[in-house]
Amino acid sequence: MPLSAVASAASTSLTSANPRRSSPASRVPVSLRRSLPCRLLSSSSSSRSPLVPVSAMASSSPTAAGETSSRKKLIIFDAEEDLAESLAKRTAELSARFAAERGAFTVVLSGGSLVKALRKLAEPPYLEAVDWSKWHVFWVDERVVPKDHADSNYKLASDGFLSKVPIPAGQVYAINDSLSAEGAAEDYEARLRQLVKNGMIAMSPVTGFPKFDLMLMGMGPDGHVASLFPGHPVVNENQKWVTFVKDSPKPPPERITFTFPVINSSAYIALVVTGAGKAGAVHKALSEGQNTSDLLPVEMVSLQDGELTWFTDKPAVSMLSSI
């Protein structure tokens, strides 16, 4: 799999008005180019956002018709504010693209700090520019608690984001909170299958699993993603679309979660990982020479035909020796 990364200059450098500054790519330490298994790509130094333009992404990994392409990038921001702006911009771009291409935009959310990072989507210019009527919102994982419970990922997203944007209520797919963990997972998968059948959710011709347009996810300090925790047998689930755990090491214990075949069939994943508490897992995931027999869940995120972008900050990448 070609692994290309935007080892981006910090956003403050990128937004600098000083015309004598070198381009972001050339400011990335040479050692980084050696230590990260990546090819450096960058947007222009005058760009407000350090995201690589879509055209540059495509050219980083050209595909002929019928071939698949898997791309991986790392963006490092100086400030959380810049990360949030860039995430909003990228999400809005993908929303416009999928709405035009397929008349719907399927977006999957995690819980955790990710939701706060989405706040700028609910502000101008994105609030007015995004066609919210095309959004269909799902959860990559959910805690099995009532929807109005403080632990509910639905409540977190609803309070922090969804209540501030005009997505039709019928297009927000919360779990059935009256069921057991097992029942809620089965019910959620059945609803996904129905939405695949009516064409709302795309199907991956490559994997035979549903292909969501964009998954917006966080990562825990232990390297978990969704509710797929290190060493838990559900990380190896390869048939079901949605499964459950009753012994999550992160409370609350009962959760439902998308499985890796579904996560890895996504068209785009934005993995938002900030803070020094994540540095160890980031180091393990992004350093060369990893032990492939002992993968963290985050290392099992491997898109079959899509693009994975890490949205990080300096504390999160602080253990990458070359940065």
Binding site for ligand 6PG (CB under 6 A): 110-114, 141, 143, 153, 218-220, 224-226, 250
Using the minimum distance from each CB to ligand 6PG, give the nearer residue, 9 or 215: 215
Shortest spacing between CB 46 and ligand 6PG, in angstroms: 31
Using the minimum distance from each CB to ligand 6PG, give the nearer residue, 14 or 109: 109
Using the minimum distance from each CB to ligand 6PG, give the nearer residue, 164 or 250: 250
Shortest spacing between CB 151 and ligand 6PG, in angstroms: 8
Q: What is the DSSP letter of 228?
A: B
Using the minimum distance from each CB to ligand 6PG, give the nearer residue, 9 or 219: 219
Query: How many residues can be counted in the chain?
Result: 323
Using the minimum distance from each CB to ligand 6PG, give the nearer residue, 60 or 312: 312
Tell me the C-alpha distance between 3 and 304, whole Å: 12
Beta-strand pair 70-77/268-273: unpaired
Shortest spacing between CB 214 and ligand 6PG, in angstroms: 15
Shortest spacing between CB 116 and ligand 6PG, in angstroms: 9
Using the minimum distance from each CB to ligand 6PG, give the nearer residue, 94 or 298: 298
What the block records as the tokens of 294 is 């002992």
Shortest spacing between CB 301 and ligand 6PG, in angstroms: 12
Using the minimum distance from each CB to ligand 6PG, give the nearer residue, 14 or 140: 140
Alpha helix segments (H runs only) across the chain: 11-14, 24-27, 30-35, 54-60, 80-102, 114-117, 126-129, 153-160, 181-197, 260-263, 279-286
Name the helix (H) or strand (E) containing 82: helix 80-102
Shortest spacing between CB 113 and ligand 6PG, in angstroms: 3
Angle at 227 between CA 221 and CA 230, to 5 degrees: 55
* Other beta carbons less than 10 A from residue 134's beta carbon: 21
Tell me the C-alpha distance between 41 and 60, whole Å: 8
Tell me the C-alpha distance between 263 and 192, whole Å: 13
Q: Which residues pair with 294 in a beta bridge?
A: none
Shortest spacing between CB 4 and ligand 6PG, in angstroms: 25
For residue 191, which of 103, 183, 218 has the smallest C-alpha distance?
183
Using the minimum distance from each CB to ligand 6PG, give the nearer residue, 111 or 261: 111
Residue nearest to ligand 6PG (CB): 112
Name the helix (H) or strand (E) containing 97: helix 80-102
Shortest spacing between CB 312 and ligand 6PG, in angstroms: 12
Beta-strand pair 210-211/202-203: antiparallel
* Other beta carbons less than 10 A from residue 101's beta carbon: 11
